[in-house]
Amino acid sequence: MKGSTLILRLLVVVVLSAVVALVAAPASAVTLIEDGQANCTIIVPTEQDATIQAAADDLQYHLRKMSGAEVPIVSSVGEAKGVPIYLRLIPEDTGLPEPLCQLERYYPDGFIIRANDRRMMLASPRPEGVANAVYGLLEDHLGCHWFTPGEIGEYIPKRDTVNIEIPGGYELQKPSLELRSPWYNGNVGNRLNDQERTQMSKWRTRNRAGGMRGYGGHIWHDIFPKSLQEQEPDLAPFYNGKRNPGGGQICMSNPRAVEIAARFFINLFTNNPGLDHYSFTQNDGAGWCECEKCQAMASNNGARMLILSNRVAEKLAEVHPDKRITILPYDGTIEPPEEFIEGHRNLAPIICSSCMEQIRPKTDDSNSCNRYRRRVERWMTMLPRAWSYDYIGWYPGPWPLFTKLQGDQDYYRSLGYTGIMDEYLGRDLGTDIHMWLSFRIAWDENLKVADLLDEFYLAYFGAAADEMRSIYEMFEEHMLSVGGTGEMMDVPRLYPMAMIETALNMIAEAKQKVADNPTIVSRIERDKNSLRLTNRWLNFWSALGKFRRSGSAADRQHVAEAGQAYLDFINSLDGTLTVGGVHRFIVQSELEDLNDPGTYFAEPGEFSYKDGLNDGGKSYQAKSRSGFVIGTYGLYLEPNQTGEVIYDIRAGEGLSFKDARLVNMYLFLPEGGHNRVEVSLDQGQSWTAAYEDVHMHGGMAEYDLTEHITGANQFLLKFWIQNTDKEIVGMDHWGIKGRVE
């Protein structure tokens, strides 16, 4: 390449004599497109990199859509015409600013844009950083935005001439957060077609998602598989009086757990040197080890998890000193250690906001928010950093909680958080914009949600901006006023039917204002479909609640019709990038449960029955119920009342129960009151107490009934509570499983 050698080695050696001249250079504009004609060429490395090539193609696409000009892409400087735009390549005569010799200034995927009237360079230590430079150029300097996935969400200003002016000749950007990875979970992804998945991925890339490379999900079942626990039973968790290979977590006090995990990570990072971190997070659910050594190890499961993780990180650091392992204070480990345990410098904790208020800001004065802040702030006295893991939108309705987003992120930054990994459980009106805002303020903490929204509404909805903004803000204000736990039972009060109808009427007015703009009409139609779907969900949920209370055939038919109407409509939206799939699955499951045979087990083999009891659940299948009042979250008991519910558990003709255990239990024991689980083998003429005055509260705990029912073809099962002076949720969920022969 005549007079110039292009170097691919990344930003290591700098000729400092060139620095002063470059930094002192005044701003000068570079013209990429002039009067609709290309005045530039994109130059990519000869050694192809898929990330850089995709960014080059996208830069070409945006310049074409912006101006109509076709900018060529080449890998040889000799083929370049006009202003060369180097992607990752650094001509050897380029004067580079001093920060480029300090790679940590870019970590992990920041970039530099260097420009004058002769050429432009977009460079970074990582290919992802080069892509971020492309999108930084397009968004920060040329006004492009990608509000939602797909072409419908693009905002690309039109201009015949495209000029770039970089003050001082160069721009250095490092993201504010090292991990920027909010994500739509499988409930959204499992219904996307290939084209939609590509659009969703491209949308994230354009909005500069990413950062640290790695994985942060549940993984102990892979590191300590059931087969290994069967070979080494002392690795298995001890609960319900025995070791349970593959049944939950692991024995955290076992030294072999450290050896096995350390070897796993050493091999992993040796074979995958491009990874920055990888998961060492517990399995989802319960099943924690209760052996004597674990109990003596530390104050609680959070403390034991941190000690185990520290030991693994220490061994890993001996071989790979800069690699991190990701841990998860969550569910059974969310409670921080009572004692002070300093977290290893190479831990990357992801702290989950589970089992708490999900609508109001983390700084709200509700009990669950106060408890969450106490936990988080205690954890952050011990941990080297943390990434947030909030749950977004477990509702079949709008999620325009934009103000809350700003407050939560400000709170996390104040504690020393360095990343976000929030999980979007559903996709509906507002969730894409919520995620877009997350991307933007995660990259640049100086950006404010309020300012970004001013830009969004006008750019996205045009002349309909005021009406659409009013709709989003109406739902946000109402949702913040009522709050929510993240459970489906919140939906009717979060999205009142009257408010849905008001929003649909406002959408009709908004469409009239932009009737001559098909793109904006399509955007409004997408929101309209989301609201119409919420309406159908509310119809279904109302019918289901009525049936759960009555158990009548007529009400069962209404549920079937409302559920099918919902499914027909949501299925019609497949391929439109409108909504996710979790609520489709829930409706399908509820419709299948309409034919549930209840507690009759006709076939030999394993049997099980579970009920969540929300809005009464399947309690209409009980033989009898008295005292309890059906409520939103289960079976309630008013003060000083006694409640009982009796189930008739039957095996098929000629069969008998070999064993049975209560599982997934929540049977409350009031302070000063009583509860019992009783069994009758003679249709209620006499009863035997299997458990008495025991608070049954879920997890992996099992309550054995075998000695009371073995050999029986049929038995009655009674849950009984005597309440004291406060209203309680007496039963929230219950289940039974065992074997019939």
pLDDT digits (tens, 9 = 90+) for 585-636: 889 989 998 988 999 999 999 999 999 998 899 999 999 999 999 998 899 9
Is 561 a member of any domain? no
Class of residue 607 by CB neighbours under 10 A (exposed 0-12, middle 13-18, buried 19+): buried
Asked whether residue 204 falls in the same domain as residue 222, the answer is no
Q: Are 635 and 645 in contact (CB under 8 A)?
A: yes
Write the pLDDT tens digit of every residue in 341-359. 999 999 999 999 987 899 9
pLDDT tens for 384-413 read: 999 999 999 888 899 999 999 999 999 999
Q: Which amino acid is at 263?
A: R
Task: Identify the pLDDT of residue 404.
Answer: 95
Structure tokens at 560: 């079937």
CATH code at position 656: 2.60.120.1020
Give the pLDDT of residue 6.
Answer: 36
What letter represents residue 623's amino acid? Answer: K
The CA distance from 352 to 333, in Å, is 10
Within this chain, do residues 241 and 355 fall inside the same structural domain, yes or no? Answer: no
- Residues 643 and 735 grouped into a single domain: yes
For residue 582, is it within any domain? no
> Whose CA is closest to 313, among 300, 299, 324, 329?
324
Q: Is residue 544 part of a domain?
A: no
Pairing assessment for the beta strands 688-692 and 642-651 based on DSSP bridges:
unpaired
Show the domain range for 688. Answer: 600-740
Q: Does 25 share its domain with 139?
A: yes
Beta-bridge partners for 173: 111
C-alpha to C-alpha distance for 559 and 545, rounded to whole angstroms: 9
Q: Is the pLDDT of residue 12 over 80?
A: no
Structure confidence at residue 539 (pLDDT)? 96
Task: Report yes or no on 151 lying in a domain.
Answer: yes
Q: What is the pTM of this model?
A: 0.89
Q: Are residues 346 and 494 in the same domain?
A: yes
Select from 500, 518, 536 the last residue of a domain: 536
Closest CA to 161 of 31, 25, 290, 294: 31
Taking residues 167-191, report their average pLDDT. Answer: 89
Tell the burial category of 50 from Cβ atoms under 10 Å away from its Cβ (0-12, 13-18, 19+).
exposed
Check whether residue 163 and residue 247 sit in a common domain.
no
The per-residue pLDDT for range 94-128, each reduced to its tens digit, is: 555 554 545 567 779 999 998 888 889 999 989 99
Domain presence at residue 576: no
In the listed set 536, 562, 583, which residue is the last one of a domain according to the structure?
A: 536
By three-state DSSP, how is residue 655 classified?
A: coil
Residue range 145-159: mean pLDDT, rounded: 96
Backbone angles phi, psi at 37, to 5 degrees: -115, 140
Window from 93-102, 320-329, 421-430 with minimum mean pLDDT: 93-102
Percentage of the chain modeled with pLDDT above 90: 80
Give the CATH number for residue 70.
3.30.379.10
* Residue 564 within a domain: no
Last residue of a domain, one of 498, 517, 536: 536
For residue 551, being part of any structural domain is answered with no
Whether residues 727 and 682 fall in one domain: yes
Residue 517 included in any domain: yes
Q: What is the mean pLDDT of the chain?
A: 91
pLDDT reported for residue 504: 97
Structure tokens at 93: 């005569």
Distance CA 504, CA 531 (A): 7
For range 371-378, the mean pLDDT: 96
- Domains of the chain: total: 4
Q: What's residue 93's pLDDT?
A: 55
What pLDDT does 389 receive?
Answer: 96
Q: What is the tens place of the pLDDT at every residue in 243-254?
A: 999 989 999 999
- Is 437 a residue whose pLDDT tops 70? yes
Looking at the fold, whether 165 and 208 belong to one and the same domain comes out as no
Residue 96: predicted pLDDT: 57
Residues 222 and 209 in one domain: no
Residues 49, 36: Cα–Cα separation, whole Å? 30
CA distance 417 to 180: 12
Element containing residue 643 per DSSP (H, E) = strand 642-651
Residues 30, 105 within the same domain:
yes
- 316 and 355 together in one domain: no
Q: Which residues contact 119 (CB under 8 A, 6 or more apart)?
A: 30, 83, 84, 85, 86, 91
Residue 4's pLDDT is 33
- Do 477 and 354 form a contact (C-beta atoms < 8 A)? no
The pLDDT assigned to 27 comes to 52
Tell whether the model's pLDDT for residue 26 goes beyond 60.
no
Residue 44 has pLDDT above 70, yes or no: yes
What's the pLDDT band for 476 if we cut at 50, 70, 90? very high
Determine contact, residues 51/86, Cβ cutoff 8 Å: no
The residue count for the chain: 741
Dihedral angle computed from the Cα positions of residues 102, 103, 104 and 108, in that order, rounded to the nearest 10 degrees? 160
Do 102 and 121 lie in a common domain? yes
Phi-psi region of 428 (alpha: psi -120 to 50; beta: other; left: phi over 0): beta
Q: Which of 123-127, 335-339, 731-735 is predicted least confidently?
A: 123-127
